[in-house]
Structure 1
Amino acid sequence: MITYDQLFIGGEWTEPSGPDLLDLVSPHDRSLLGRAAQALPADVDRAVAAARAAFDEGTWPRTPPADRIAVLRRLNTLREERADDVAAIISAENGSALWFTRAGQAGLTRQADAYLKAAGEFGWEETLAPSDPGAPFRSVVRREAIGVVAAIIPWNSPFSAALAKLIPALLAGNTVVLKVSPENSLSMNLLAGLLAETGLPRGVVSVLPADRETSEHLVKHPDVDKVAFTGSTRAGRRIASLAGEQLKRVSLELGGKSAAVILPDADLGAAIQGLKFGSLLNNGEACIAQTRILAPRSRYDEVVAGLKEMVESLQVGDPADEKTFIGPMVRPDQQQRVRDYISLGVEEGARLVTGGAQVPAGLEPGNYVTPTLFADVSNTMRIAQEEIFGPVLVVIAYDDEDDAVRIANESEYGLSGGVWSADEDHALAVARRLRTGTVTINGAPIGFDGPFGGFKASGVGREYGAVGLTQYIEYQTVTV
């Protein structure tokens, strides 16, 4: 059992303001994994004060970009050296299958490398020639840090979400208070330990496990200059409202209900195998999961039959078992939420092809859900419009390509999506018509050099690469 009885505030392990430790239990069998201190508003105040002092008076914002890059490269190296430990602890905390958490380690390296490359090529200061060659002045454009960043992340993919914000914020010279979910207290304290080894100056980073009330205290703190949030659309709206009152900078990576458009000429075997990963990754607890499957009427029964076979083939069980594809939901309330949506789908008149609201036999002690497939779904049904965040897929029929695009776009969300076709150029043409921030064609992985984020209620701003780096800078123009 792991115990963290201190909080990582300003780069140092310190006593928390409250004496109580939170019990962290396994979503697989409810066994005790560890205990960890949780931050209270007083701890947030200490962390923000340390970050404020480090930004206003410390060396980090004034450290040359090349030196900041070297520190963040070291963080990436330290994380790679502990990759197996990171994967194992996230699986234990979240119930994420080990295949997913292990595969995610390579993704974390690519994510970091893209940020580091962008920072190395970034024009931190450049002189612009006047549009009138005879003008007796020039403009110097400077890109500098915003200040104190409050980075708030969800539980479902903690390392990815944390580093997507920490790395660009620190590369730009900001100081950061990272607020993490209580469920991830063990893995995020492991991250704090890695940060302590990087050589970051005192005060630059804090890592605080905390509840929603403490998170709101952080968002409203007058010494926070920017809020970077990943989580639900509902919470994002609340954060945007609070940040707007103080005109804080804000970026939001929110929910999704992404559509996978299977065109009539698609290789169905490849599409269904690809959707196994694109739709059911991380137990379906993923904002980018393509859980609305749009199938042409001419091949609808074939698509449903193929998906049924795939879903029923998935091994559900202990996330530490290398053969497991679907593990438990993170908490009992999340398990119940997904089961309630399955019951709702039946009530709405969708055809339950496989699965159901029952808990898989033999797995009753854990937070398990039976992987479920619905057919004959209307896009107006709640199971087609609302983010379920579990292993539940719906198949929607379309008449022609225009109908498929219409259905895909008839959603409040616009985070991700996919197109499957034997003709890549045609698939690209369809992708251009989808109102969503990221589209994958024939199961291609999401790249980290390009921007990631959502249209509509899926967010504000972008992450990854050079565009993600710009979310953490202010522009200053000096005319000489």
Structure 2
Amino acid sequence: MTQLRDPHDTTGLDRDAFFIGGGWTAPATDQVIEVVSPHTEQVIARVPEGTPADIDAAVAAARRAFDEGPWPRMTPAERIAVIEAFSGLYAGAMVEMAGLITLEMGSPTSFANLAQSPAPWMQIEAFLAIAREFGWEETRPGALGAPVVVRREPVGVVAAIPPWNVPQFTIMSKVVPALLAGCTVVVKPAPETPLDAYLMAELLQQAGVPEGVVNIVPGGRETGAHLVAHPGIDKVAFTGSTAAGRAIASVCGQQLKRVSLELGGKSAAILLDDVDLAHAVEGIKFTGLMNSGQACVAQTRILAPRSRYAEVVDALATAVSGMAVGDPTDPATEIGPMVAQRQQERVSSYIALGESEGARIVTGGLGMPSGLDHGWYVRPTVFADVDTRMRIAQEEIFGPVLSVIAYDGVEEAVRIANDSEYGLAGTVWTADQAAGLDVARRVRAGTYGVNTYTMDFAAPFGGFKASGLGREFGPEGLGQYTELKSVYLETPAG
């Protein structure tokens, strides 16, 4: 078990094996992933890089565990007991888990200790509650006069592919329902964030998860592509970019392989005329800039009524310019670095693009934040005078950049909110909850908030349009890892 450490201490983080078949397995090659701190730009750990041969070994272990092992044949209650043990261990490791994620991808420790590890633990508890009441098998009256038994059986071997921005959050949304359903799993963590997955493997091992039920092989894009196309995989569960999701869906479609995709977003926060602006701005600081803007649900299009447009722009500029930017291990930090230099360059290119498109920077802009001379940082930026046709209003930037768009009337606000290839999240801010609920019903997004935004793990999460396929969380999320079987019984004589 990794021990609690000083937040700046990166000693002892190297790994030399994969978690395959219930134990630590030597890699097939000497290729390594260098985990680099986005704050110091220094290597903090080295772990083996998965290759197709390593994926083959992991899938073979998961296949044996599913086809021959005890896990799929246990009762739901027996599997629940193992996951309950895992939940207890996870609760004791949350501080350590949050610290690892801050080190490896730069998530501000304030956000990490709010969402990077507590939220995954809350998912475990929510799925346990759902599994205890889930309709694993029911008998219903048939139309032909005989009863029909309808069963939920595990879908098989699952490939779980999380991104780097909220690694444990997105791993847990796949691994826990898959395990409760009786599936076995191969997890491919992103190369930027492999360290938290190693700690999770230790906790699963301690909890008594049988050999081969969970296997973990970090790797890059080629490794992931091999896993997706592997004939031993029955279902792929992916969180990441829409472009990657389309490629995965194409492979799964050709193989008739089950797939669920949680993809990108370009969500809108609508401020109505009667908005309490101070309350809305505090909410938008979180919904738009959480995790330094590296969040699929980030509401980065701010739709403001023209009658209050200047007031909204000024309030957002004041709030964002006052946010603390810097060392992610500092509890006062609100905006940390981008995960990698390429991400810093990507976000900076969008800031330059916004200026060239004619949008007006009211705070932030290009260049390093004040007081910082290293790290992959971007100045949190607010654009005004944004037209909905601009690329900064249409494309997912994945950084701390907000675009304020004016509208005339609620009809236009809804139209602008829906003018996107995405449909993942959104909010409306108003003194009239009924009016807010009316707006929520009209915006085509999978999750929506009225004067707030959160994720309730008892309810389904996912997107409309190019934001994905399928749902996570709630009974619907558990059901994604099952196949339905109908068993017809003999019609009674007479």
Whether TM-score is above 0.5 comes out as yes
1:206 aligns with 2:218: no
Q: Which residue of 1 aligns with 2:440?
A: 431
**1:347 corresponds to which of 350, 356, 359:** 356
Q: Which residue of 2 aligns with 1:117?
A: 129
Q: Secondary structure at the match of 1:123?
A: coil
Q: Secondary structure at the match of 2:188?
A: strand
Q: Counterpart amino acid of 1:270?
A: H
Q: Counterpart amino acid of 1:439?
A: Y
Deviation at 1:208, TM superposition (A): 1.1
Deviation at 1:21, TM superposition (A): 2.5
1:362 aligns with 2:345: no
Q: Which residue of 2 aligns with 1:387?
A: 396
Q: Which residue of 2 aligns with 1:402?
A: 411
Of 385-394 and 191-200, the range deviating more from structure 2: 191-200
Q: Secondary structure at the match of 2:299?
A: coil
Deviation at 1:20, TM superposition (A): 2.9
Q: Which residue of 2 aligns with 1:311?
A: 320
Deviation at 1:131, TM superposition (A): 3.9
Question: 1:172-183 alignment to 2 at 5 Å?
Answer: 172-183=181-192
Q: Output the CA distance in 1 between the equivalents of 2:474 and 2:339.
A: 30
Q: Give yes or no for contact 1:150–1:224 (8 Å, CA) kept in 2.
A: yes
Q: Secondary structure at the match of 2:361?
A: strand
1:218 aligns with 2:227: yes
Q: Output the CA distance in 2 between the equivalents of 1:339 and 1:364.
A: 16
Q: Output the CA distance in 1 between the equivalents of 2:128 and 2:411.
A: 41
**1:47 corresponds to which of 58, 77, 87:** 58
Q: Counterpart amino acid of 2:77?
A: A
1:281 aligns with 2:287: no
Q: Give yes or no for contact 2:287–2:453 (8 Å, CA) kept in 1.
A: no
Q: Give yes or no for contact 2:71–2:182 (8 Å, CA) kept in 1.
A: yes
Q: Output the CA distance in 2 between the equivalents of 1:236 and 1:23.
A: 26
Q: Give yes or no for contact 1:24–1:33 (8 Å, CA) kept in 2.
A: yes
* C-alpha RMSD of the superposition: 0.9
Q: Give yes or no for contact 1:154–1:231 (8 Å, CA) kept in 2.
A: yes
Question: 1:10-159 alignment to 2 at 5 Å?
Answer: 10-104=21-115, 105-131=117-143, 135=145, 137-159=146-168
Deviation at 1:192, TM superposition (A): 1.3
After superposition, the Cα gap between the structure-2 partners of 1:130 and 1:324, relative to the gap in structure 1 and judged at 3 Å, is: same
Deviation at 1:361, TM superposition (A): 3.2
Of 64-73 and 377-386, the range deviating more from structure 2: 64-73
Of 444-453 and 234-243, the range deviating more from structure 2: 444-453
Q: Counterpart amino acid of 2:346?
A: R
Q: Give yes or no for contact 1:296–1:400 (8 Å, CA) kept in 2.
A: yes
Deviation at 1:109, TM superposition (A): 2.7
Kindly provide the CA deviation profile for residues 109-155 of structure 1, in whole angstroms up to 9, marking residues without a partner as x.
322222111111011111001246xx2x2100010001100011100
Q: Please, which runs of 5 or more residues in structure 2 have no aligned partner?
A: 1-10, 490-494
**1:244 corresponds to which of 224, 243, 253:** 253
Q: Secondary structure at the match of 2:331?
A: coil
Deviation at 1:386, TM superposition (A): 0.3
Q: Give yes or no for contact 1:319–1:326 (8 Å, CA) kept in 2.
A: yes
Deviation at 1:73, TM superposition (A): 1.7
Q: Which residue of 1 aligns with 2:6?
A: none
**2:342 corresponds to which of 333, 344, 347:** 333
Deviation at 1:44, TM superposition (A): 0.3
Q: Output the CA distance in 2 between the equivalents of 1:169 and 1:249.
A: 13
Q: Output the CA distance in 2 between the equivalents of 1:227 and 1:429.
A: 36
Deviation at 1:107, TM superposition (A): 2.0
Deviation at 1:195, TM superposition (A): 1.4
Q: Output the CA distance in 2 between the equivalents of 1:214 and 1:236.
A: 15
Q: Please, which runs of 5 or more residues in structure 1 have no aligned partner?
A: none
Q: Secondary structure at the match of 2:327?
A: coil
**2:180 corresponds to which of 171, 174, 177:** 171
Deviation at 1:23, TM superposition (A): 1.9
Q: Counterpart amino acid of 1:157?
A: V
Q: Counterpart amino acid of 1:123?
A: G
Q: Give yes or no for contact 2:20–2:216 (8 Å, CA) kept in 1.
A: yes
Deviation at 1:479, TM superposition (A): 0.5
1:445 aligns with 2:449: no
Q: Give yes or no for contact 1:11–1:195 (8 Å, CA) kept in 2.
A: no
Runs of 4+ in structure 1 over 3 Å off = none
If the length of structure 1 is used for normalisation, what is the TM-score?
0.98
Q: Which residue of 1 aligns with 2:7?
A: none
Q: Counterpart amino acid of 1:100?
A: F
Q: Output the CA distance in 1 between the equivalents of 2:394 and 2:400.
A: 15
Kindly provide the CA deviation profile for residues 306-345 of structure 1, in whole angstroms up to 9, marking residues without a partner as x.
0000100100000000000000000000000000000000
Q: Counterpart amino acid of 2:72?
A: P
Q: Output the CA distance in 2 between the equivalents of 1:446 and 1:424.
A: 19
